[in-house]
Structure 1
C-alpha cells in the first residue's frame, strides 16, 4: 500500500501489500512484513539443528530452503523492489520440489530412477528462468500480473500435490502417537494464515478504515510453523521406513521435532555399565576403603 517514499524509492514489486510503506522506518518499506520473515529463518535454522544427525540429506535441503525463503522475504518486503521478489518466490518452489521428491521416494528401495530428481531440478530451474525473464518487463503491469499468477498457480498446485501425499502418509501412520495431532495443528494454522493472506490481499482498503492487523505478517508466522510441522511428518515417515524408531518430541510444548531412539546415546560420555561391571567397581571401592 503506497503511503510514502523511503530509502528504496517507489515500489516496483508485483504486489504492494496492505502495510503502509516506510511507516515505521525510513529504511524498511514494510516493517512488520520484514520482521515477521525472521520466523522463516528461525524455523529453518531450528530444523537444521534438531535434524542434523541421522536423517537424510534431502531434509537438510528442505530446511535450508526455508531459511532462504526467510532471507528472500526480508529482501522483498524490506525494499519492495521487483527483482528481489524472486529471492522470495524461487526458494519456495525449490522447497516444494524437494518435499515432493521426499514424499514420493519414501521407501527403502527407490521407486523411480535418476530421471525423477533431475526432472524436478530442471523444472525448478526452468521456472526460475521464466520468472527472471518475465521480470525484464516489470514496468508492464500486465506482464507483472502474468508472472504473479503463474507463480501463485504453480505454487498452489504443487502444494496440493504435496499435501495429498502427506495425508496418505498420515493415514498410513494412524497408529503413531503425535502424527495425527501434528497434521491437524499444522493444517489448521496454515488455513488460518492463508485466510488472513487473502483478506490482506483483497480487502486492504476496508481494513485500513478500521485497524490494519498486519495479516500478511501473521501469514509469515503461520506459514513458517505449518510448513515446518508438515515437513516433520515426511521426516518421521522416512525415518520409520529406515527402521530408526522415530518419535515426535517437543520443546516447551510448542516446537516439535523428530527424535530418534538412539539419539540419547550420541550424547552420553560413555556407555551404560553392565551389572557385572558395576559390581566389580563396587568391590574396588570397598578394597580402597
Structure 2
C-alpha cells in the first residue's frame, strides 16, 4: 500500500564516497551512511546531538549564574563533551571519534559518581575516592581499547550509572527526609524552642514534603525518558532491516521519525539533564540551602527544570527567604523561619 502523505524517496547510501570514508568504527548504526550529504555519515544521529550541546551550555550558564557547586559545572562540561563527541562520531564513523564519544560518557559518569559519594566526606576519603575513580576510568579506557567491544562499554556505563542513581535515591530518602523532619518537623523540640507556631511548623512540614515529592517526580520522569530512549534504541538494533524498509516506504522527511538511535540521543539527553539538575537540587538540600534556591519547573511535560537562586536570597539574614509563590516546596505567602 502506497504511503499517502507528500514525500520524496531516499537517496542511495554512499558509504564509500563520504568525506570521512572509510568507516573504521567497530560499530555502525541503523541509519544509512552518507545518504543525505557526503560530509556527514549519519545526518540524523549527528544533528540530534545538538540537544546535548544546547542543554550543556544552559547548564554551564546556570552553574556560573547561580553559583552551584563546581563539580556540577565540570559535570555539565562533560555532558557537553559527550554531545560534541557523539556529534563527531556520527559525522565520521571513525574509530578515534568513537573513543571520544564513548569514553567521554564513562568519564562524565565517574565525575557524577564522585559528586554523589564525596559529599560530607573527609579530605582523605575524597582523595581516595578520586584516585579510585580515576583508576577505574583508566582501566575501562585501556581494556575497552584492547577488547574493542561496544558491549563492554555499554555494560560499564550502565553499571556506573545504576550505582549513582541508587545511591542518590538512598541519600534523598534516608538523609534528606530525616534531616528536613528534624529541622522543621512538627515534633521538633528545636522548632518549638525557637518560637515557631504550630501552623508555621505544619506549613514547613508540608513544604518539605513537597520538596521530596518533586524530587521523586524528577527521578521518575527522567528515568522514564532515559529508559524509553534505550528501549527505542534496542528495537532499532533488533529490527534494523525492517525499519530500513519502512523508512524507504514512507520516504523523506517522514522516515526521519523512524531513526531510533536519534530518539535515543534526544531522550537520553533530556534524561541525563534531569539527573544533573536533580543532583544539584539534592546537594543544596544536603547543604541546608533549600530556602535559598528554588526548583523552577513550570510544566512537567513542556519545560525543563532548573535550580535558580531566589530573588533577594543573598540579602536575607539567617536563611529566611520569600518564595513569591513559586513551586519548589516553599510556595507560601510568608517568609519561612530558619531554625
User: Is TM (by shorter chain) over 0.5?
Assistant: yes
1:128 is aligned to 2:141:
yes
**Equivalent runs, 1:264-279 vs 2, <5 Å:** none
Provide Cα deviations, 1:84-130, integer angstroms capped at 9, x if missing partner.
Answer: 10110111111111111111123376693411111111221232233
Q: Do the aligned residues in 2 keep the contact of 1:244 with 1:260 (CA within 8 Å)?
A: no
**Aligned residue number for residue 11 of structure 1:** 23
Pairwise CA distance, 1:81 = 0.7
Change (3 A) 1:29 1:264: farther
**Aligned residue number for residue 182 of structure 1:** 218
Q: Do the aligned residues in 2 keep the contact of 1:72 with 1:88 (CA within 8 Å)?
A: yes
**Aligned residue number for residue 160 of structure 1:** 162
**Structure 2 unaligned spans of 5+:** 1-11, 178-208, 248-254, 316-339
**Structure 1 unaligned spans of 5+:** 135-142, 267-289
Q: Do the aligned residues in 2 keep the contact of 1:105 with 1:111 (CA within 8 Å)?
A: no
Give, in whole Å, the separation in 2 of the partners of 1:25 and 1:122: 41
Give, in whole Å, the separation in 2 of the partners of 1:183 and 1:25: 39
Pairwise CA distance, 1:254 = 0.7
**Equivalent runs, 1:64-213 vs 2, <5 Å:** 64-107=77-120, 112-132=125-145, 134=146, 143-144=147-148, 147-172=149-174, 173=176, 175=209, 176=211, 178-211=214-247, 213=258
TM-score by length of 2: 0.69
Give, in whole Å, the separation in 2 of the partners of 1:221 and 1:263: 36
Question: Could you tell which deviates more after superposition, 243-252 or 36-45?
Answer: 243-252
Secondary structure at the aligned position of 2:125 is classed as coil
1:36 is aligned to 2:48:
yes
**Aligned residue number for residue 255 of structure 1:** 304
Pairwise CA distance, 1:78 = 0.2
Change (3 A) 1:263 1:80: farther
Question: Could you tell which deviates more after superposition, 247-256 or 190-199?
Answer: 247-256
Give, in whole Å, the separation in 1 of the partners of 2:172 and 2:244: 41
Secondary structure at the aligned position of 1:3 is classed as coil
Secondary structure at the aligned position of 1:114 is classed as helix
**Aligned residue number for residue 262 of structure 2:** 217
1:240 is aligned to 2:253:
no
Change (3 A) 1:180 1:110: farther
Out of 230, 237, 243, the position equivalent to 2:275 is 230
Secondary structure at the aligned position of 1:258 is classed as strand
Instruction: List structure 1 runs of 4+ shifted beyond 6 angstroms.
Output: none
Q: Do the aligned residues in 1 keep the contact of 2:118 with 2:129 (CA within 8 Å)?
A: no
Secondary structure at the aligned position of 2:297 is classed as strand
Pairwise CA distance, 1:194 = 0.5
Give, in whole Å, the separation in 1 of the partners of 2:101 and 2:312: 35
**Aligned residue number for residue 285 of structure 1:** none
Give, in whole Å, the separation in 1 of the partners of 2:97 and 2:121: 40
Give, in whole Å, the separation in 2 of the partners of 1:48 and 1:160: 24
Give, in whole Å, the separation in 2 of the partners of 1:85 and 1:235: 30
Q: Do the aligned residues in 2 keep the contact of 1:166 with 1:230 (CA within 8 Å)?
A: no
Give, in whole Å, the separation in 1 of the partners of 2:94 and 2:57: 26
Secondary structure at the aligned position of 1:248 is classed as strand
Q: CA RMSD in A?
A: 2.3
